[in-house]
Structure 1
Amino acid sequence: MHSLIASPFLEQHVLVRPGARGGLLLPEANYQELLASGPDAAVPSWLSDTAAGQWPELDMTGRALGDVVLVRAPSPWGYGRASWEINMNCNLKCKQCYLGIKVNSGMPRKDKLRCLGIMAEAGVLWLQITGGEPTLDRDFMAAYRHAYKLGMMITVSTNATLLWRENLLRMFKECPPYRVTVSMYGAAKASYDELTQHQGGWDLFVQGMNAARREKLPLRMSVIVTEDNAHEEQAMVDLCKSWGVEHNVFTNMTPTIYGGGEVLTAQSKDHLRMRKPFGGCNAGHTFFHTDPHGLVSICKIGRDDQISLPSEGIQGLARLGSIADRLMLRTGGCTGCQLSGSCTVCRPLAKHYQEAKAPLEMYCQHGMKR
């Protein structure tokens, strides 16, 4: 199994190590040398020295290149990142979940693995596997291992309630993730179980976090603040600090992907924050999202005009850039807005809020007190 990945990434070339946060830029000439070398060639001295400086625990002296380095071929498609919902099923029923109704459906395993191959062919180096709860999917481990073998740096987004499973922990040790991002829904049993609507959810969360910390998984916490747990915001942050886990705090709720407003009742009014002005993004151009059925969209929010990877293959991605440009145009109630230059949400997200008939104060400058 490879210890390093040498890969194109957008307009550069990088050297990265699964399970490690840091990486190195590779000069074009060095990347081309690795690309031209066969797997039986010796690791060049410049690579051994460079890797030892970045990752002292890695000794590649005298080893065959193919034993330690996966060299990814260039891709003409220009994508560097992607996210993938392997499922929409979940063992929790969080009141604020933007996915709405949980459905246990998706592709057969062979199509999942084929879609991952297409993502790699498109140039995807950084892959986020999410759900639903991804570790609940029966094909999660097979898909994860396949993505790893293809040379992807994998982030798993999870609620941590299954991270105590020995088979998962063994796989993560053999095939280290780049990051495991855990959603945190409370600092105590009562608030956690209330928000997730799962009695015993807190106990599973703590069990999973204890196992993940014991195995030194690369954790990052997403602290979710809602009406049910707002009184515990500082306690959640303090718990992250006591665990030695970096964290981000999220306070603004969004409608469901179907434009449903029922989840907005979870919003803590005292924690509704003004977002920074939206300055554009690379959705659809260097990044894309894939749902459980292999339908590609520009991102998790803008899911209009999806492209089927199983039926269209990689050629379908040729339409994604024009779809992205069209979805970002100001339409509907935003047409001609004089404040659009400092709008705090992208057009696809604004459309969801409008469909959900959300109060303007949740997403639009016109509803904010000045």
Structure 2
Amino acid sequence: MRELVATPFGEHRLVLRRGSPKAVQLPHAKFAELYALSSVPGWLVAAAAAQWQMDLSGRALDDVLLLREPGPYAFSRATWEINLGCDYDCEMCYLGEKRFEGLDMDGKRTLLTVMRDAGVIWLQITGGEPLIDPDFPESYRLANELGMQVEILSNGSQLRRDRVLDVLRAYPPTKLTLSVYGATADTYDAVTRRRGGFDRFRAGVHRAIDAGLNLDLSLIIVRTNAHEADAMRAWARELGLRSREYANISPTIEGGAETLPSQAPQYLTNREPFTGCPAGVTFFHADPFGRVSICKVGREPNIDLTAEGVPGLARLGRIAESLMLRTGGCSGCKLSATCRVCRPMARVFQAAEAPLVNYCQHGMR
């Protein structure tokens, strides 16, 4: 397995190491030089030793480094819902019915290859719960072999299984982010509505730590577990892992408001004023069927990437512009310059007929 990837990134040229968030930036001339070399040049030996403590001296370049071509557009990041199915049934889940369906393995191969050809460097694989998909190991291995740096969002329930942990050891993810739903079995199992979930999760976390994977934790705070927020924070510190907190719950992707009562009002946070984002410009989202949208919130309109290929992505910029217009209940709002909610998210709340207090500054007055 080639551990390094050399890739264009906009106007920059980078060397990345699988499983590492660090990078080496190259002058364009050095990047171009790599096409003509057969062995690792001295300057790359020195850079890899300084950045990653790797010894590449005397190695054949093709054994060490994958050289990627630039994509035709500016897309460098993507997220992929490999499947919406999940082994949990959390009360606050924005995925609603969580149907287990999507592309077969041939379709997954096509989708990942098109992503590579589009220039995607950083790929986040999510779900549903991605690790329960029977095609996850092969899909994850292929994404790495195509030269993508892969991050995984997971509930961690499957990390105790060798079929999952073995492929993660062989191809370490750039980051593995695990959701935490409680600090005790009673609370965790109540949030996930799965008996034994807490024990499976903790076993998986410790196996992942022992495997040396780069972990961080997302502390999901809702009414049912809010009394254990301090205990969840303490557990993250005890493990020596980075953690972030999420308490702002959104409606389901079908526009349902049934998730909103799970919010813990005392933990809701004010986002920064929304001034734009890279959705549909340098970033895109793919659902389990290979339908690409600007993000996981603004799912319509979308593009069938497996059918249209890379040229289909040319339309995403125009779609992004149309979705960012303030329309409907937000048109003419005098607070729009300081609004903390993007338009696709506001549309989701409006479709769910959610109370303004859930998403609008007017509702906070």
TM-score (norm 2): 0.98
Match of 1:52 in 2: 49
Alignment partner of 1:43 is 2:43: no
CA deviations on 1:256-296 (whole Å, 9 max, x unpaired) are 11211000111011112222111210000100000000000
Matched-pair contact (CA < 8 Å) for 2:114–2:306: no
Instruction: Find the residue that maps to 2:151 and give its secondary structure.
Output: strand
In the alignment, the residues of structure 2 paired with residue 55 and residue 310 of structure 1 have an alpha-carbon distance, to the nearest angstrom, of 36
Matched-pair contact (CA < 8 Å) for 1:185–1:224: yes
Alignment partner of 1:362 is 2:358: yes
Instruction: Find the residue that maps to 1:14 and give its secondary structure.
Output: strand
In the alignment, the residues of structure 1 paired with residue 172 and residue 278 of structure 2 have an alpha-carbon distance, to the nearest angstrom, of 27
Matched-pair contact (CA < 8 Å) for 1:94–1:195: yes
Instruction: Find the residue that maps to 1:262 and give its secondary structure.
Output: coil
Report the AA paired with residue 100 of structure 1. G
In the alignment, the residues of structure 2 paired with residue 306 and residue 155 of structure 1 have an alpha-carbon distance, to the nearest angstrom, of 23
Alignment partner of 1:23 is 2:20: no
In the alignment, the residues of structure 1 paired with residue 229 and residue 24 of structure 2 have an alpha-carbon distance, to the nearest angstrom, of 37
Report the AA paired with residue 128 of structure 2. G
Alpha-carbon distance, 1:338 to partner: 1.1
Report the AA paired with residue 117 of structure 1. T
Alignment partner of 1:160 is 2:156: yes
Give 2:258's match in structure 1, choosing from 262, 279, 296.
262
Alpha-carbon distance, 1:213 to partner: 1.1
In the alignment, the residues of structure 1 paired with residue 156 and residue 265 of structure 2 have an alpha-carbon distance, to the nearest angstrom, of 27
Report the AA paired with residue 146 of structure 2. L
In the alignment, the residues of structure 2 paired with residue 75 and residue 137 of structure 1 have an alpha-carbon distance, to the nearest angstrom, of 29
Match of 1:272 in 2: 268
Instruction: Find the residue that maps to 2:222 and give its secondary structure.
Output: coil
Which stretches of structure 1, 4 residues or longer, exceed 6 Å deviation after superposition? none
Matched-pair contact (CA < 8 Å) for 1:10–1:286: no
Instruction: Find the residue that maps to 2:232 and give its secondary structure.
Output: helix
Report the AA paired with residue 28 of structure 1. H
Matched-pair contact (CA < 8 Å) for 1:259–1:352: yes
Matched-pair contact (CA < 8 Å) for 1:272–1:362: no
Give 1:325's match in structure 2, choosing from 321, 330, 337.
321
Instruction: Find the residue that maps to 1:83 and give its secondary structure.
Output: strand
Unaligned runs of 5+ in 1: none
In the alignment, the residues of structure 2 paired with residue 300 and residue 187 of structure 1 have an alpha-carbon distance, to the nearest angstrom, of 29
Match of 1:235 in 2: 231
RMSD: 0.9
Alpha-carbon distance, 1:336 to partner: 1.1
In the alignment, the residues of structure 2 paired with residue 99 and residue 109 of structure 1 have an alpha-carbon distance, to the nearest angstrom, of 22
- Which piece of structure 1 moves more, 191-200 or 166-175? 166-175
- Which piece of structure 1 moves more, 338-347 or 356-365? 356-365
Report the AA paired with residue 182 of structure 2. G
Matched-pair contact (CA < 8 Å) for 2:82–2:125: yes
Alpha-carbon distance, 1:122 to partner: 0.6
In the alignment, the residues of structure 2 paired with residue 250 and residue 46 of structure 1 have an alpha-carbon distance, to the nearest angstrom, of 43
Alpha-carbon distance, 1:21 to partner: 2.2
CA deviations on 1:126-157 (whole Å, 9 max, x unpaired) are 00000010010010011000000000100011
In the alignment, the residues of structure 2 paired with residue 69 and residue 89 of structure 1 have an alpha-carbon distance, to the nearest angstrom, of 36
Match of 1:4 in 2: 4
CA deviations on 1:328-350 (whole Å, 9 max, x unpaired) are 01010111111111110100000
Match of 1:223 in 2: 219
Alpha-carbon distance, 1:11 to partner: 2.6
In the alignment, the residues of structure 2 paired with residue 159 and residue 118 of structure 1 have an alpha-carbon distance, to the nearest angstrom, of 28
Instruction: Find the residue that maps to 1:220 and give its secondary structure.
Output: strand
Give 1:173's match in structure 2, choosing from 165, 169, 183.
169
Alignment partner of 1:87 is 2:83: yes
Instruction: Find the residue that maps to 2:218 and give its secondary structure.
Output: strand
CA deviations on 1:187-228 (whole Å, 9 max, x unpaired) are 111110001010111111111111111112100101000000
- Which piece of structure 1 moves more, 290-299 or 67-76? 67-76
Report the AA paired with residue 18 of structure 2. P
- Which piece of structure 1 moves more, 290-299 or 310-319? 310-319
Alpha-carbon distance, 1:167 to partner: 2.1
In the alignment, the residues of structure 1 paired with residue 132 and residue 173 of structure 2 have an alpha-carbon distance, to the nearest angstrom, of 17
Alpha-carbon distance, 1:120 to partner: 0.6
TM-score (norm 1): 0.97
Report the AA paired with residue 126 of structure 1. W
Alpha-carbon distance, 1:183 to partner: 0.6
Instruction: Find the residue that maps to 1:183 and give its secondary structure.
Output: strand
Give 1:335's match in structure 2, choosing from 319, 331, 335.
331
In the alignment, the residues of structure 2 paired with residue 134 and residue 116 of structure 1 have an alpha-carbon distance, to the nearest angstrom, of 15
Alpha-carbon distance, 1:169 to partner: 1.6
Unaligned runs of 5+ in 2: none
